[in-house]
Amino acid sequence: MGKVKTVYICQECGYESPKWMGKCPGCGSWNTFIEEVKAEKLSKIQSAAYNKVQPLKIQDIEITKEIRYSTYLEELDRVLGGGIVKGSLVLVGGDPGIGKSTLLLQMANNVAKSGNIVLYVSGEESSKQIKLRAERLNVLSENLLVLPETNLSYIEETITNLKPDVVVIDSIQTVYRPELQSAPGSVSQVREATAVLMNIAKNLNIATFIVGHVTKEGSIAGPRVLEHMVDTVLYFEGERHNTYRVLRAVKNRFGSTNEIGVFEMKQFGLEEVKNPSEILLSGRPKDVPGSCVVCSMEGTRPILIEVQALTSQTSFGMPRRMTTGLDYNRVILLIAVLEKRVGMHIQTYDVYVNVAGGIKIDEPAIDLGVLCSIASSFKNLPIDNEVVIIGEVGLTGEVRGVNLIDKRILEAQKLGFKKCIIPKENMKGLDIIKGIQIVPVENIYEALEEVLGG
């Protein structure tokens, strides 16, 4: 027998090293290297399981319409691209306690009610614990089967014999292959388990959902190859102390990655939020400086959100800047534009900017609204409650055009807003929309003149 070879693998990013290191060169994490047995071939799947195919001319390949299951959760269907695709492998990540298991159990119940067989494999909870949660969520479908198991070989055998329509693995970090020397949750075990589940999903045409733990930085734990192997990667976001949750796709081979789904966590599970704009604007203060409404596009859906800003005289030599739900560097850039182009002396003021509702936005179309809210707080002048501000701001103070302006204006009109400030560039080809005043602006001077009177 040959000598057993070992290698040290970072449990955060999967970086391999022949010797132990304190700091990982790949991700910069400390004390994450664990010794694992080096195996030439981790997978035990025989090559006979693969169908040998010949190369085809691209014009000779016939395509058929993808068969999808509806989850009967419109928000989840939207993020998935129209429903669950047969044979797809979906990775769901999120912070502990955010609601991943709750969402998948509700989804599994809905799919099972429609006549499909669903297998829910849990490596973190016993069958009694799942039953208690199922009763709270009113999950009672007879087509929903529960398997509390962590042994990958037994899970593989059960799926092959049962041939369900949908499989849920909760979570991938608890599943292990007995033949491997490393512990459950290690890079080798996670990679092997995902490879086996991927082959089962493709060969048997079974839609598979796997839950992945996240690191303290917010990315899915384990090797980066994990996200490359799956068809779809979903992140469940939100503050644990906030009732609203956002489901966002960062990779999707069967749909758009721009769509989001909004849910509200209640006593009896997650409920869909059909109109996020109305919910996010509820409780908005009136006639208060530093508050304004902006419109952001999440895929094909416009969402109205309140941006709040607070400026206060700093007590130290270095003013403080803090943002929640916005890109920090983008806000610093907008503050610099205000100082240089408008002449506001904000360098001696602390600036705090917050997006109400716990939503994160990275779209440049909200630049003008953020800038106006900072100026409003600095001058202590309120912005009209019936105004929506849309536009991207450049370094020279110009207001640039944004996409899908008509959908943004219609969303503002639907929620009762009377005025919409938009970039002048977007007036070209814009249809007349009755019931709302449209004010085009070319630069930030015109915008500030309109909302603050100069």
Instruction: Please give the Cα distance from 150 to 178 (Å, whole number).
Output: 10
Question: Which value, to the nearest 10 degrees, does the dihedral of the CA atoms of residues 169, 171, 173, 175 take?
Answer: -40
Instruction: Please give the Cα distance from 191 to 172 (Å, whole number).
Output: 9
Q: Is 25 annotated as a binding residue?
A: no
Q: Is 454 annotated as a binding residue?
A: no
Q: Is 96 annotated as a binding residue?
A: yes
Q: Is 384 annotated as a binding residue?
A: no
Instruction: Please give the Cα distance from 96 to 189 (Å, whole number).
Output: 21
Instruction: Please give the Cα distance from 165 to 158 (Å, whole number).
Output: 13
User: In a 3-state reduction of DSSP, which class is residue 114?
Assistant: coil
Q: Is 165 annotated as a binding residue?
A: no
Q: Helices 127-136 and 100-113: crossing angle, nearest 10°? A: 80
Number of H helices, E strands in the chain: 11, 23
Q: Beta 232-237 vs 207-212: how paired, if at all?
A: unpaired
Q: Is 98 annotated as a binding residue?
A: yes
Among candidates 78, 47, 18, which has minimal Cα distance to 298?
A: 78
Among candidates 381, 359, 176, which has minimal Cα distance to 260?
A: 359
Write the DSSP symbol of residue 216.
T
Q: Is 101 annotated as a binding residue?
A: yes
Q: Is 433 annotated as a binding residue?
A: no
User: In a 3-state reduction of DSSP, which class is residue 412?
Assistant: helix
Residue stretches of the annotated binding site: 94-101
Q: Binding site for ATP: which residues?
A: 94-101
